[in-house]
Structure 1
Amino acid sequence: MDGYDEGPPAAIDRLLEECRRGLDRVRPEDLPAAVAAGALVVDTRPVEQRERDGELPGAVVVDRNVLEWRLDPGCAHRLPGIDHDPERRVVVVCNEGYSSSLAARTLQRLGLVNATDLAGGFQAWLHVDPREGLPAARSGTAPGMIRRVVGEGLLAGAVGVAVMTLGEKLEQRLTGRPDSYVPARVLERLTALPEQAGGRAVATNWAMHHGQAALVGVVRSVMAHAGLRGPVASAKFAVIRLTTDQVLENATGVGAPPQTWPRGELAVDLLHKGVYAAVTGLVADALAARNGPGPGQRHAAVAPGRVGDVGPLPREAVGTP
């Protein structure tokens, strides 16, 4: 601590040591993993220090003098829009990791049994080598992030279409529905390739079927990295996938608007695209979660909805260089 003189242990030193014996303190390089596991990070530094040294991406800012009132699950003045589960891990951050230990122990006494603090505080976090695992929000350049999002999206889409195809083959065996060569027709007309009939178009059919699905998976990866994750995000993505199909099929004249389809054909298409969207979403979300919560999730940790005085987050909190 700045200005801290060595000497015989003072009462505050003994109190600090006692408090820390009850804390499972978080190392700076382990903070991203704690956040990914659902921890709430609370920055108690005064505004002067935050203006001088910068913000802590993803942290909820709470003044130290109102901390207990804002985090007590049973208090009428608790923070809105926050999961106040008493067993949720809460990581308190001060400038150098001293007052945060005292604050974390107080929170434990209020019933937040997993409250703890960041060892070394913001200054220790600020000086950890990014290669040791500091938040993705602070590491990597924009091109690097784009490559990661695209690569993960292609992988998620490829897995999604593989599972969808297995489901289609099973459904065809049960219903006797013949193979569809609509993907081949679309690709042939988009690229001016000669149109081939039946089995001669298998390679073209598979190229469009799997290639389009893998490419559209990139959209789901973008959603996941932005913080749009889970079943609701996958339902939105299913609409995107269906819309992509319809635009291509109608633009090339291969298909007609879906409201003109027989109900059975429409139901089968919705079923298979729903499977694709769900599986692609699961993979994209799992891959994105390795980098911690997205900007949207960080906003939600502070307040739900669109709140002007919460966002936008600092540039470093959304991965821009």
Structure 2
Amino acid sequence: MKLHEDNALGALGGAIGKGLLAGIAATAAMTLSQMIEMKLTKREPSDATLKVAEDTAAVKPSSEDEKQLLSQEIHWSYGTAWGVARGLIGLTGLKGLPATLLHFGAVWGTALVMLPKHDAAKPINEQEPKEIAIDVLHHAVYAAVAGLVYDALDAGGKHERKLNKLAHNVNSLIRQYKK
């Protein structure tokens, strides 16, 4: 009996779990990025999440407090859930910048399609360059942090890497000895 076997469902579960943690960290970073940017540019918070919720789930907050609460709940849920996509990308073997760029394209590309569809944002060809740059910045912060956190979680601990290297070296020696 082997103590550890490759297990597709276990790998999927691990990737999803690491992705969720990466999504939480990335959402926190994006939130901070947005807060700083809004303070610098004097921009008001977006109501895009509420417009999508109203359009897709027939949700209608009854007060300003409920609007803010619902907006934050959707923002955090949506950002955390997109971490799962980063986990699935990790299952393909992609890491680092290529995985981050793919994740960025998926997240931002979805926003570019879904927000105008639900009248929550103008189509990109109708936006000002400054609006596009700000949107790209925040989504890039999200994807970069999700990628860094996911790759760090997926790398295992220092002791695990040392143990894997030692096991690899021992297996190499055994193979050479058998020849």
Q: Give me the TM-score of the superposition, normalised by structure 2.
A: 0.79
User: Corresponding residue for 2:69?
Assistant: 203
Matched residues in 1 for 2:70 and 2:146: separation? 23
Which of 155, 167, 170 matches 1:289? 155
User: Corresponding residue for 1:145?
Assistant: 11
Matched residues in 2 for 1:236 and 1:280: separation? 12
Query: Which residue identity does 2:146 align to in structure 1?
Result: T
User: Corresponding residue for 1:265?
Assistant: 131
User: Corresponding residue for 1:129?
Assistant: 3
TM-aligned CA distance change 1:229 to 1:196, over 3 Å: farther
User: Corresponding residue for 2:46?
Assistant: 180
RMSD of aligned Cα (Å): 2.2
Percent sequence identity over aligned pairs: 30
CA positional deviation for 1:128? 5.2
CA positional deviation for 1:237? 1.3
Where in structure 2 are the equivalents of 1:1-321 lying within 5 Å? 129-130=3-4, 138-140=5-7, 142-194=8-60, 198-290=64-156
TM-aligned CA distance change 1:198 to 1:261, over 3 Å: farther
CA positional deviation for 1:173? 1.3
TM-aligned CA distance change 1:195 to 1:250, over 3 Å: farther
Is this contact kept in 2: 1:221–1:285, CA < 8 A?
no
Secondary structure, aligned partner of 2:37: helix
TM-aligned CA distance change 1:179 to 1:198, over 3 Å: farther
Task: Identify unmatched segments of 5+ residues in structure 2.
Answer: 161-179
Matched residues in 1 for 2:109 and 2:61: separation? 24
Higher RCO (CA < 8 A, seq sep 6+)? 2
Secondary structure, aligned partner of 2:119: coil
TM-aligned CA distance change 1:195 to 1:189, over 3 Å: farther
CA positional deviation for 1:146? 2.3
Matched residues in 2 for 1:151 and 1:247: separation? 27
TM-aligned CA distance change 1:176 to 1:197, over 3 Å: farther
Matched residues in 2 for 1:144 and 1:152: separation? 12
TM-aligned CA distance change 1:195 to 1:261, over 3 Å: farther
State how many pairs are aligned: 158
TM-aligned CA distance change 1:195 to 1:247, over 3 Å: farther
Task: Identify unmatched segments of 5+ residues in structure 1.
Answer: 1-126, 131-137, 293-321
Matched residues in 2 for 1:196 and 1:261: separation? 30
Secondary structure, aligned partner of 1:151: helix
Query: Which residue identity does 1:212 align to in structure 2?
Result: Y
